[in-house]
Amino acid sequence: MTAGRLLLIVPLAYLAIFFIYPLGSIFARSLGDESNFGFEPFSILLNDPYYLGRIWFTIWQAVVSTLLTLAIGLPAAFLFARYEFPGKTLLKAISSLPFVMPTIVVAMGFTALFGAQGLVNSALMTMFGLDNPPVRITNTLTIIFMAHAFYNYAIIVRIVSALWSNLDPNLEGSAKMLGAGSIQTFYHVTLPLLLPAIISASLLSFAFSFTSFGVVLVLGGPEYSTLEVSIYELTAKLFRLPLAGALAIIQLGFTYFFLLLYSKFQEQSAVRVDLKPRESTSRHPTRWKEKIFVVAIILMLLTLLSPLVALVVRWITLDGGFATNQMANLFSDDRGSYFHLSPVTIIWNSLRFALITVAISLIIGTIISYTITNVNRRWRNLSDALVMLPLGVSAVTLGFGYIIALGRPPIDLRGSWLILVIAHSLVAYPFVIRSLLPVLKGMNSNLREAAAVLGANPARVFLLVELPLIAPALLVGATFAFAVSMGEFGASLILVRVEFTTMPVAIFRFLGLPGTANLGMALGMSCLLMVVVSLGFIAIERFRYKGIGGF
């Protein structure tokens, strides 16, 4: 057996133990316990109007969220694909920040902007002398839809603009020469070429809204519980594990179906037309209508970032304080009694778990990427889809699987911080694969062969030839894994013990406590988490291989 096949045992064993086994345990638990083994939990769910309502609500709210996301994302995708303007690269980078923001921070941002004491209501009450906040959209569908669109519009922008910017503009020019107007040209020429990319981006956005947890939990009321929130409540509050398992299986079925459709349309997005370099397809706006459009979309994108700005402003101005006072409170030990931990310890928990997650994700992701690159072409897409399956499983479902699978012999990780790191790494390692695969597929195989002819063994070939070439992609994958771990909320909320509390869990629990001090702590941790993740995303944009390697 070669060294490569021996290394492959590591990720295969890791996925078998920490992914397949927990999912199998969920399925077994969904069939009931030993004394009542059968499909009764499914029968209860499918005959209960409440849970049928949760399924229906989860689907249609994801549809509406996706449509709103498309309405925002498509004009922005056109802007980045067809026009050049000062600050374009910076604007594209910062407009993509919401996608890598932890959901709990996004929810906090909308609360800071539209809450009863948020910036919008405070400004309106001051301006018009009102006694009560005029804008009341917290715990409503409106704010859930807005938060989902805010969180996911970058998916539409990234996927659609990547194809749109490479479409030959001569195709549209030919249609106009034949007498077609702008609308007819778009409908009959551009849209058919873009449709696979639009559909695949929409399905991915739909999947994220369908499995939404942190946004719905913080911003929605009890009547707006999605499947994800219902699984959490059945597991952590009601302790009805068979029902939670059955609901998790139902959710898994829906999610895998959506991801299969996504894979199909993503493959079709590689249209067979002459693609042009981006430099030859974009231009500076010259007509006044074009200039108005560019300015309007830029203002819209900057406005979309207002929840993150409001989060910082709300933290700094809370209770008439200053940023220095709020920062001092954040690193103080005086307000950690609820967790029996100081905020510094909570921050350190998140940092060390994220660093360990990065190490595991790099090892697993690199081995899998090399394996996929070297397998037969007919099996390559199937292998790629299989190893990406953890992205199709919600974090809450994964955490629930760990509770019932890894809390008893032969693998008992109850009370260990390892269970958190394992959950984080399963969500993070696919980002390493997506960052590394484009580089490996584009690497010249003659370099390896030349090094081997000169007497280098495989280990030296990797260290001296390949590693310097893939290092930027590895850095991108590492920063993605770090950001994912820092912001992971769903699985952590279910699995975490008090002594291992992470920043997203602490933010959520501080929000549930009364008093300005606890609110200030939640806002401060949210801002700090936002800064850390933002720096990671800036690093991703700096080191991304030829602009690719992302979702």
C-beta separation of 506 from 426 below 8 A: no
| Domain boundaries, given as residue ranges, for the chain | 39-101+141-302, 321-551
Q: How far is the first Cα of the chain from the last one, in angstroms, to the nearest whole number?
A: 35
Low-confidence ranges of the chain (pLDDT < 50): 1, 270-277, 335-338, 545-550
Residue 93 CA to its chain's centroid (Å): 16
pLDDT tens-digit series, residues 1-15? 465 567 778 888 888
pLDDT score recorded for residue 357: 93
211: helix, strand or coil: coil
Query: How many other C-beta atoms are found inside a 10 Å radius of the C-beta of residue 27?
Result: 15
CATH architecture of 321-551: Orthogonal Bundle (1.10)
Residue among 376, 492, 477 at smallest CA distance from 423: 492
Q: How many residues does the chain have?
A: 551
Q: Is there a shared CATH topology between the 39-101+141-302 domain and the 321-551 domain?
A: yes
pLDDT number for residue 191: 76
8 A C-beta contact, residue 395 and residue 488: yes
pLDDT in tens, 120-177: 888 888 888 887 888 888 788 888 999 899 888 888 887 787 777 767 666 666 766 7
Q: What is the pLDDT of residue 271?
A: 46
Q: Write down the pTM of the prediction.
A: 0.76
Nearest of 204, 206, 203, 211 to residue 251 by alpha carbon: 211
Class of domain 39-101+141-302: mainly alpha
d(CA 210, CA 40): 25
pLDDT of residue 444: 62
- DSSP annotation of 548 reads B
The per-residue pLDDT for 275 is: 47
3-state secondary structure 454-493: CCCCHHHHHHHHHHHHHHHHHHHHHHHHHHHHHHCCHHHH
